[in-house]
Amino acid sequence: MLRSAVLSALLTLTVTPFVNAANDSLSTVAERSGFQKTGRYEEVIALCAAFQKTYPKQVRCTEFGRTPEGRPMLALIVSRSGALSAAEAHKRGLPVLLVQGGIHAGEIDGKDAGFLALREALQDTSADNPLSKQVLVFVPVFNIDGHERFGRWNRPNQRGPEEMGWRTTGQNFNLNRDYAKADAPEMQAMLKLVNQWDPLAYIDLHVTDGAKFEHDVSIQVEPVHASDLALRKDGQALRDNVIGDLAKHGSLPQAFYLSFNVDDDPSSGFVDDVSPPRFSTGYFHLRNRFGMLVETHSWKDYPTRVRITHNAIVAVMAQIAAHGSNWLKTAQQADLRAAQLGGEAVPLSYKASAQTRPVAFRGYEYTRTPSDISGALMTHYDESKPQIWNVTLRDDLQPDLSVKAPLAGYLVPAAHAAWVGQKLQQHGIAFRVLPAAQANAQLEAFRADKTSLDPKSLESHQRLTLQGAWHAETRELGAGALFVPIAQAKARLVMALLEPQAPDSLAAWGRFNNAFEKKEYMEAYVAEDVARAQLAADPALAAEFKKKLADDPEFAKDPAARLEFFARRHSSWDERFNLYPVLRTDVVPG
């Protein structure tokens, strides 16, 4: 494994305190305060410019967007290779590493740790400096407007810093629920940056909530359980090597999210998962790239958390320097394989099986007693008494929903082409506009048998669950429809967005709810006359109605359902009701 003397020294910061860089123009408020405080966003603006001024050949400070409150979204582009543009990095075949802090701006370890790791790496003059073999794109704060909603106790179950930002944006979006739907202007700017640089690995720096225990960080990577099989092996190597580096330098890392199967109950153990693509780690594997979630533990103090986050960044940089060229080749081969998924069964969600394995988890002694405040059973931890919790982990992750990919792709009718096309462009998905109408096209259409709307809004949407299936139909398709080919590198992401039953599809986020609302209707007294005329004209229909009354008690006692039985057979019935407005085709339109 690549190791320069300086990188090795950086990882030993578990023993050596951070240096006091009070006179260094590239130091942070965090360092100068002994990691008791974190700076405001004006510090990021100043540091971004200062790094570029100090290292003009190695650093470029760039603005990649503006927040709704008008603040610049900044990234530092860093490399010792001289490739400070995406075009040059791609031309040279350099792997790109994107490290992102502050998506939840109260969890701000990544900003301070990233600036420290960046400064130390730039000061390293050794021949095997990892920055000579990659391009680092560092976004110190993603949720900038949330960062500036500054205050004490914004994270009441977190130890330090003294003040911090807010979890959500100025528009109250949780950005780590927004990768697939990309509602927030900040996310749209981030996806534009991602499309430009196409990072091999996207590192998302967080601080977890939860119980009190000794473990101080979790490292999760996809693909490990999901997507391209060859890329999973590299993803596991990246995860395991980073975990190994952290463990060598005093951390107690785990490879699963440190949240109990049953909330507040340590004895319930843990259940692993593959996140849906609203989350960063659930999104990037659909692009055949690595997504890593770094979660330090909120009950460790701020100096400890920054040190561990710093060590994680250094470890990832070393891994990309050592293996990034080979991993990039695997990722590019995965792009080619993804373009061949037409006709294959593609998993859209995953679930842990019932299979368990024992885990000796380092926690503390605890009691669970009824609370006289809430009335609930509450857990109380004694941090002075470490204890091994012998619990179980369910981490055998298997496909939960798989759908056969269309042979050719998807068709989006002209009525929806503008907004769907904009959404596809945000994700860098290829499509083309069909200039001519398609008459008597042999297509697949999804008709819902049952629809269920969530009773509460989530991230400004009323989510929709659909039951139904794809069936062959002959349909007319007007000019201006979009054809979205499955034969492209982002085929899995195409399906994640356009398959109606995928967990974070556009349909699941309620973007097509109008299609499942009945707009036209027949007055009951009219339906009565229509029903009698149909019964008189069609003995087979009369027999079918009689049988349904006998076999289906719920139908028999529902007047509206009985009348709808006949309304559906009338020429006035809206055949588009419960028809998903996106179609599938096995033939590439000419």
Q: What percent of the chain has pLDDT over 90?
A: 93
- Residue 188: the pLDDT is 98
Domain positions in the chain: 5-338, 357-399, 400-518+576-585, 524-567
Q: What percent of the chain has pLDDT over 70?
A: 96
Q: pLDDT digit string (tens) for 72-126?
A: 999 999 999 989 999 999 999 999 999 999 999 999 999 999 999 999 999 999 9
CATH number for 5-338 (one of 3.30.70.1150, 3.60.130.10, 3.40.50.300, 3.40.630.10): it is 3.40.630.10
552's enclosing H/E stretch is none
Going by pLDDT thresholds of 50, 70 and 90, the confidence category of residue 277 is: very high
Q: pLDDT digit string (tens) for 23-59?
A: 488 999 999 999 999 999 999 999 999 999 999 999 9
Q: How far is C-alpha 412 from the geometric centre of its chain's CA atoms?
A: 24
- Residue 510: the pLDDT is 98
Separation of alpha carbons 159 and 162, rounded Å: 8
Going by pLDDT thresholds of 50, 70 and 90, the confidence category of residue 5 is: very low
Q: Kindly report the three-state secondary structure assignment for every residue of 576-590.
A: CCCECCCEEECCCCC
Yes or no: say if 2 and 321 are a contact pair by the CB < 8 Å rule.
yes
Q: Is the pLDDT of residue 436 over 60?
A: yes
The pairing of beta strand 432-433 with beta strand 438-453: unpaired
Q: What is the DSSP letter of 164?
A: B
Separation of alpha carbons 539 and 46, rounded Å: 82
- Residue 521: the pLDDT is 85
Q: Is the pLDDT of residue 20 over 80?
A: no
Q: Is the pLDDT of residue 2 over 80?
A: no
Give the amino acid at 550: A
